[in-house]
Amino acid sequence: MTGLRWGILATGGIAASFASDLRTAGLDLVAVGSRSQDSADAFAERFDIPRAHGSYHALATDPDVDIIYVATPHPMHHADARLALENGKHALVEKAFTVNRAEADDLQRLAADKGLLVMEAMWTRYLPHMVRIRELIADGALGEIRAVTADHTQKITTDPAHRLNALELGGGALLDLGIYPISFIWDILGEPETIKAVARLGETGADAEVATVMTHAGGAVSTSVSSARAVGPNSASVIGTEGRIDIDRVWYAPTSFRLVAPDGTVRESYASAIDGRGMQYQALAAERLVARGTPEGDILPIAESVAIMATLDEIRAQIGVRYPNEG
């Protein structure tokens, strides 16, 4: 622990999961902010948080808060993270980081100007099984990586007012679900050189299903499928010339994987054994970066989060999705 004092901005489901995992890790959760005092009070009581603020501004100006976890819907990330940074707080911002690259660029510049950490809360990258996968790849266990494939598919309500279907809330499969496989592909293969995307749009114009095929340095290829209307395997594979890694369901949460040789021999089996959901690992990483005085992490640098938003922008341009707040 670095002694950072955490505040949570918003009180929805993802905020509750994060609060629970902060408690699991023994980190210092001192405040919560909501748009209503009643909601803040209820959340504070649930997670034994000392201070409950009835506005986001009150949380951002609390002198006893050092870092704020932003857990609002996508279109609010930019303004809410800006509020934290402008008031001298480090910010861990839920994924997708923003709704587009322009907003992400702005947060990166502001954090740099203020000498503060701003970090995308892509919690999957920090999980122990993902750390081990990167170690195996770095050690050459797969040889040359030729392909990565991943899906994130869930059956979610078709209610047009639901966040996942409302364009004004950044709705659609891409920003909520597709960010996982796209970020994973970036992690393994780096920036795509070409992007091809197709989608089926739902009744509200939000993307219900999105599929991508991308090429990367050295000719490696990647595929992803995301859906808010149907459940698939939710698995992933990294395929190399000397072996492959098969990540089990649900690949983006604590799970198991196998390192498999070309002849089918299992060289290594890994099974996650952690406390809680696993969101504490990104918080611990943020604390380490602040303690080192390092605004750029090595697992997910802010510059990479900004570049990933550009990839999502290109996918949306190809499938014809634009959010109302983009003009």
Q: What is the pLDDT of residue 2?
A: 61
- Flag whether pLDDT at 136 surpasses 60: yes
Q: What is the pLDDT of residue 327?
A: 56
- Flag whether pLDDT at 203 surpasses 60: yes
Residues 27-82: pLDDT tens digits? 999 999 999 999 999 999 999 999 999 999 999 999 999 999 999 999 999 999 99
Reading phi first (left if > 0) and then psi (alpha if -120 to 50, else beta), residue 323 is in beta
- Flag whether pLDDT at 193 surpasses 80: yes
**How deeply is 3 buried, as exposed, middle or buried, from its count of CB atoms within 10 A (0-12, 13-18, 19+)?**
exposed
Mean pLDDT of 87-91: 98
Q: What is the rounded distance in angstroms from the CA atom of residue 51 to the CA atom of residue 43?
A: 10
- Average predicted confidence (pLDDT) for the chain: 96
Confidence of residue 325 (pLDDT cuts 50, 70, 90): confident
- Flag whether pLDDT at 310 surpasses 70: yes
Residue ranges of alpha helices (H) inside the chain are 13-25, 37-47, 56-60, 74-86, 101-114, 128-138, 173, 179-189, 280-292, 302-319
Q: What is the pLDDT of residue 320?
A: 97
- Flag whether pLDDT at 101 surpasses 60: yes
Q: What is the pLDDT of residue 244?
A: 98
Q: What is the rounded distance in angstroms from the CA atom of residue 142 to the CA atom of residue 139?
A: 8
| C-alpha dihedral (101, 106, 110, 113), degrees to nearest 10 | 90
- Flag whether pLDDT at 1 surpasses 70: no
Q: Are 183 and 308 in contact (CB under 8 A)?
A: yes
Strand 145-153 versus strand 236-240 pairing type: antiparallel
**How deeply is 206 buried, as exposed, middle or buried, from its count of CB atoms within 10 A (0-12, 13-18, 19+)?**
buried
Q: What is the pLDDT of residue 294?
A: 79
Terminal Cα-to-Cα distance of the chain (whole angstroms): 43
pTM beyond 0.75, yes or no? yes
Residues 276-290: pLDDT tens digits? 999 999 999 999 999
Mean pLDDT of 172-188: 98
Q: Are 52 and 44 in contact (CB under 8 A)?
A: yes
| Dihedral sign for Cα atoms in the order 113, 92, 323, 313 | positive
Q: What is the pLDDT of residue 296?
A: 79
